[in-house]
Amino acid sequence: MYIAQAFNTLHDWWRYIVGVVIVVIAVTLGQIPFTVTVIVKMNMEGENMMELNQSNMMSYLEPNLNLFLMLLSFAVGLIALLVVVKYLHKQSFTQLTTSRKQIDWKRFWFIFFFWGVISSGMVLADYYMAPENYEINFKLVPFVILSVIAIIFVPLQTSFEEYLFRGYLMQGIGVVVKNKWVPLIITSVVFGLLHIANPEVDKLGPMIMVYYIGTGLFLGIMTLMDEGMELSLGFHAANNLFTALLVTADWTAFQTHSILKDMSDPSEAGLSEIFVPVFVVFPIILFILSKIYKWTNWKEKLFGTVEDPIVEPSAIDSIGSDTDI
């Protein structure tokens, strides 16, 4: 099973604490170029750093430069996480990703294009039904540069979040508490709370946390039911990449040279924008995936115990020999 296979690696509780500290330090170091660039620009323009809050800091730089520097810290964090997994836990990249013998990239690409088409279709449908809420934001050269940055760095950002929450912490908490529902809840709540600094929270209020935590829960359920992260990796990558390329707004974390710019007031949309995805769209997707991949025994996979498998001495001796990373 996906969580239980972490027992076959070095899984002492303190290793996960040390690992998280190392990853946090790496992400913090990765934010230095962004912070330095903002400070240099403010000094050149004679502006006061104290007047710049989290929301307008994200829109202070040129959008493509801002996106690159913002995503850079996630790429650094991902590298640090993979190093921690390999050398601190003696765990292979495949073991962190899936319970299958090999990573099933067909699953990744299926959900990537499935959700990419659906999410893009919903945006385009809204554009044609209410064109007054949008303006064409397309400029060829900035969009081409955006595409290069987004295609390379957005998957690194989403992969970092997935490998940290649905992978590293899901397995780490699971082998400590020896059940599945506790890591599912903890990783979903922490994943949601880490988005609390996003400008969307300032615009929509704390109720938006229902969406962030609900999304974490959805991705966690997908991971546990499918015994691997391939689907959550593909969904998260598609969600952020297609959004970055297709539509932006002044109040979102991703302010890009996208094709469209949403000019509507999000507060006028009401709670439906938050609750419909979590309580309608996501359950429908889980139902569709359950039919495609023949998921069964939901209660055991989501609420069952995590048992330490019997490992032969020769298998223990070979831990760390896999260099698949």
Q: Tell me the pLDDT band of 109, cut-offs 50, 70 and 90.
A: very high
In a domain, 314, yes or no: no
Q: Which residues contact 137 (CB under 8 A, 6 or more apart)?
A: 248, 257, 258, 259, 260, 261
Label residue 256 exposed, middle or buried (CB < 10 Å: 0-12, 13-18, 19+): buried
Note whether 254 and 189 are within 8 A (CB): no
Q: Tokens for 36? A: 């330095």
- Overall average pLDDT of the 102-130 stretch: 96
Number of domains into which the chain is organized:
1
Backbone dihedral region of 243: left (phi > 0), alpha (psi from -120 to 50 degrees) or beta? alpha
Q: Strand, helix or coil at 228?
A: strand
For residue 313, being part of any structural domain is answered with no
Output the pLDDT for position 281.
96
The per-residue pLDDT for 273 is: 80
Residue 54 has pLDDT above 60, yes or no: no
- Per-residue confidence (pLDDT) for residue 48, from 0 to 100: 64
Q: Give residue 52's pLDDT band: very low, low, confident or very high (50, 70, 90).
A: low
Asked whether residue 278 is domain-assigned, the answer is yes
CA 178/CA 165 separation, integer angstroms: 17
Instruction: State the pLDDT at residue 314.
Output: 45
Residue 246 covered by a domain: yes
| Residue 323: band (very low, low, confident or very high) from pLDDT cuts 50, 70, 90 | very low
Q: Is residue 320 part of a domain?
A: no
pLDDT tens for each residue of 65-108: 999 999 999 999 999 999 999 999 999 999 999 999 999 999 99
Range of the domain at 59: 4-307
137-159 average pLDDT score = 97
Give percent above pLDDT 90 in the chain: 76
Whether 243 shows a pLDDT value over 50: the answer reads yes
pLDDT tens digits along 264-319:
877 655 567 889 999 999 999 999 999 999 999 999 999 999 988 765 444 444 44
Alpha-carbon distance of 136 to 259, in angstroms, equals: 6
Residue 323 in domain:
no
Indicate the SS3 state at residue 251.
coil
**Average pLDDT in the 177-188 region?**
97
In the predicted model, what is the mean pLDDT of residues 155-180?
97
Q: Residues 109-129: what's their mean pLDDT?
A: 96
How long is the chain?
325
**2-24 tens-digit pLDDT:** 999 999 999 999 999 999 999 99
Average pLDDT on 136-164 reads 97
Please report whether residue 293 resides in a domain: yes
- Residue 35 to residue 31: CA distance in whole angstroms: 6
Q: Does residue 37 belong to any structural domain of this protein?
A: yes
Percentage of the chain lying above the pLDDT 70 cut: 90
Give the pLDDT mean for 57-63: 76
Residue 56 contacts residue 12 (beta carbons within 8 Å): no
Q: What is the pLDDT of residue 131?
A: 93
Q: What is the pLDDT of the chain when averaged over all its residues?
A: 90
pLDDT above 50 for 112:
yes
